[in-house]
Amino acid sequence: MNWPNDFINKIICGDCLEVMKEMPSRSIDMVITSPPYWGLRDYGFEQIFRGKSGCDHKWDKKIKKWHSDRGAGPRKEIFDDTFQVKGTRNDFCIKCGAWKGQLGLEPNPELYIEHLTEIFNEVKRILKKEGTLWLNMGDTYGGSQQGGGDTGLSKERYRKELLTYVNKPQRKLMPKCLLMIPERLAWSLIQDGWILRNKIIWFKRNSMPSSVKDRFSN
């Protein structure tokens, strides 16, 4: 694609990371986006993050080591399996450590934050010095992760499998506890040089009704 003729006043469908690589640095005035929230919806689209270019990937559900210092997570997290929503993939390359799956359906919040940080660092590259990013990001409750999406599992089975997933010691995701996803992402971006100027509350006059009885409605 050629800048700017193939971009201005056009709707471009594609992997945002790949599309942004076609844009020159310091060329965009403003970015407005709402990425998939973590663990809430199956969009039926997968992609590959990280890993080595040219690797003949060998995918597996298990990985022995995964390194991250994002989202207030540990530097090295070790796990022997991943939670997988029916109908979606959640694979790691046993050769290079690449991950194949849906953005928003990572096996833990730390990997989700790492992927979003990679995307927004590319956004930072293409923004002008005076450019702004408007980012809409919702949170997730530990032990819920249902969000109206179709998981392909019965509610009872889904809850049973999910609680098994979140209660594993290495994940430390407490049921009913907000996972602080927006704050984790903000802190990760700040570490990479972003400036957080405002946190804007989305005030809805006619919000969706909620059946919760042990906390305030959103």
Cα separation, 143 vs 197, in Å, equals 32
* DSSP for residue 178: B
> In the predicted model, is pLDDT for residue 116 greater than 90?
yes
The answer to whether residue 217 scores a pLDDT higher than 70 is yes
In the chain, the number of structural domains is 1
- pLDDT in the model for residue 121: 96
Tens digits of residue pLDDT in 49-77: 888 888 998 887 654 444 455 554 433 34
Return the exposure string of 58-82: e unless at least 16 CB atoms fall within 10 Å of the residue's CB, then b. Answer: eeeeebeebebebbebeeebebeeb
In degrees rounded to 5, what are phi and psi of residue 37? Answer: -70, 155
pLDDT of residue 35: 95
Torsion of CA 18, 112, 72, 21, to 10 degrees: 0
Residue 170 lies in a domain: yes
Q: Mean per-residue pLDDT for 112-128?
A: 96
Query: In this structure, is residue 7 part of a structural domain?
Result: no
pLDDT confidence of residue 172: 61
181-191 and 109-126 helices cross at what angle (nearest 10)?
50
> Which residue range forms the structural domain that includes residue 144?
16-191
- Does a structural domain hold residue 79? yes
User: What is residue 167's predicted lDDT score, i.e. its pLDDT?
Assistant: 40
- The confidence band for 207, taking pLDDT boundaries of 50, 70 and 90, is confident
Report the pLDDT value the prediction gives residue 107, as an integer from 0 to 100.
82
pLDDT at 194: 96
Q: Is 187 contained in some domain? A: yes
Residue 67 lies in a domain: yes
Whether 207 maps to a domain, the answer reads no
What pLDDT sits at residue 176? 85
Mean model confidence pLDDT for the chain: 78
* Three-class secondary structure of residue 123 per DSSP: helix
Strand ranges, E, within the chain: 28-33, 47-49, 59-60, 63-67, 76-79, 90-93, 99-101, 127-135
- Coil, helix or strand at residue 141: strand
Q: Is the pLDDT of residue 143 over 70?
A: yes
Q: Name the band, by pLDDT with cuts 50, 70 and 90, for residue 89.
A: low
Q: Is the pLDDT of residue 87 over 70?
A: no
Stretch among 4-8, 147-151, 152-156, 178-182 having the lowest mean pLDDT: 147-151
- Comparing 17-21, 137-141, 202-206, which segment has the lowest mean pLDDT? 202-206
pLDDT of residue 90: 61
Of the two residues 173 and 30, the one the predictor is more confident about is 30
Q: Is residue 215 part of a domain?
A: no
Whether residue 121 is contained in a domain is answered as yes
Q: Which of 94-98, 134-138, 154-158, 191-195 has the lowest mean pLDDT?
A: 154-158
Does position 184 have pLDDT exceeding 50, yes or no?
yes
**What is the pTM for the complete model shown?**
0.77
